[in-house]
Amino acid sequence: MQSSDNAKQLEELENELNMQRGMVWLLGEVMKTAYETTTFVELMESTTDMIMGVTGASSCYLWVDKKNYLRIFERNIDNNNHFRSYDILKSNSVINNPKEIHLYNSEEITQNISELGCSTKMLPKSRLYVPLLDFTTSKLLGGIILEQFTADYFTANKQTFFQTLGVFIAINIKKANILALATRESELDPMTKLYNRRSLDKLFNLAKENNDDIIVAIVDIDYFKSINDIKGHDTGDAVIKFVAKLLCGYLDPLRGTVVRYGGDEFVIIIPVHYLDAAAVLNNILETYINSDFIKSLKLLTSLTIGMSISASNLNIQNLISIADEALLEGKRLGKNVVILNNHGSFSKV
């Protein structure tokens, strides 16, 4: 009997040792992957795969706090370990995000994990929560939930390992957030908070991915120099901000994008048919000249807009050049007009 107990203890120790070796390997591989992948999503795809493979977890849910919503990264055996990434509103989630590691008891485990956005066919017997904390501020960045069908699966050694892994993932979350913020700041116009011209290629390519009809247009503020000369540059800046807000108000519902191209010019990308775009753009012209703010200037000012229609052989710079020709035609015709340049044929729309 004693010999049997000793053999069982040795087997358990050997299994635990092998698991620890595997977890050390896993941490090294996650670190290596972090330097080889280009996005945080790719890192999470690889990390959740390695966690499932090495630790034997049946489910792995990792989420990142995004102010009003949670971004979920998930793998579980119910869907053949396929990786999924999706968002859920905080208002629709019961995740309470404690800042301490937590080993669930059997009563807590009965709570339905489906509210994370997934389903579990068989109730796990072990569940571990690990917070993802900013190590410099202790701010909660997200968390990990791991599950297994074996009772008492997450031993003290496993808990310590996942705390270590959580610190590393949190560092990468913070790094990803900083890089995203820096990238976004470099692409924004400081005055209007619109995208600037260096973002045009990216924005145009995103529009092309999901839309057949794309209109590119240039919006120019007529007589803008006289606004600056007579009312001063502060008023000129206020007019630019007003136009930016006006354009976004009309184009956001159409999934359009507004870019400050430079000075008093804006480039807009609208994923709609050109006739629908023309109707909206003409409404913008009318709203501009009839607004209380513009009327209060008591100056001659309006908007002129040149349009181009996307085609497979044209890039964003081609389309801007075509729209610019339409804009010049609109200026020649007396301003306050929307002009379409369709293969060198100009028409008021």
Average pLDDT over residues 128-144: 85
Amino acid sitting at position 33: T
Compare 35 and 137 and report the one with higher pLDDT: 137
> What SS3 state is found at 87?
strand
Q: What is the mean pLDDT of the chain?
A: 82
Given a cut of 80, whether residue 10 has pLDDT beyond it is no
User: Under a CB-based contact definition with an 8 Å cutoff, are residues 88 and 117 in contact?
Assistant: yes
Given a cut of 70, whether residue 67 has pLDDT beyond it is yes
Q: What percent of the chain has pLDDT over 70?
A: 80
Give the model's pLDDT for residue 119.
45
Average pLDDT over residues 238-264: 92
CA distances for 348 relative to 154, 282, 342, angstroms: 70, 10, 11
Helix ranges (H only) for 211-308 are: 224-231, 233-251, 274-290, 292-297
Distance separating alpha carbons of residues 304 and 295, to the nearest angstrom: 17
For 147: left if phi > 0, alpha if psi spans -120 to 50, otherwise beta; the answer is beta
Give the model's pLDDT for residue 91.
66
Helix (H), strand (E) at residue 165: helix 156-186
Give the model's pLDDT for residue 92.
59
Average pLDDT over residues 38-55: 76
Compare 174 and 132 and report the one with higher pLDDT: 132
The pLDDT confidence band at residue 8, using thresholds 50, 70 and 90, is low
The pLDDT confidence band at residue 117, using thresholds 50, 70 and 90, is very low
pLDDT digits (tens, 9 = 90+) for 139-162: 888 888 889 988 888 888 888 888
Three state DSSP letters for 187-208: CECCCCCCEEHHHHHHHHHHHH
The pLDDT confidence band at residue 327, using thresholds 50, 70 and 90, is very high
Say what the pTM is. 0.53
- Burial-class residue 331 by CB neighbours within 10 Å (0-12, 13-18, 19+): middle
Given a cut of 80, whether residue 345 has pLDDT beyond it is yes
Given a cut of 80, whether residue 328 has pLDDT beyond it is yes
Give the model's pLDDT for residue 15.
61
Average pLDDT over residues 106-126: 64
The pLDDT confidence band at residue 96, using thresholds 50, 70 and 90, is low
Compare 114 and 327 and report the one with higher pLDDT: 327
Q: What are phi and psi of 34, to 5 degrees?
A: -60, -30
Q: Find tokens 């790094």 and name the residue.
A: 175
Compare 116 and 311 and report the one with higher pLDDT: 311
Instruction: Give the tokens for residue 204.
Output: 């145009």
> What SS3 state is found at 308?
strand
Of 301, 289, 298, 225, nearest to 263 by C-alpha is 225
Give the model's pLDDT for residue 332.
96
User: Under a CB-based contact definition with an 8 Å cutoff, are residues 97 and 131 in contact?
Assistant: yes
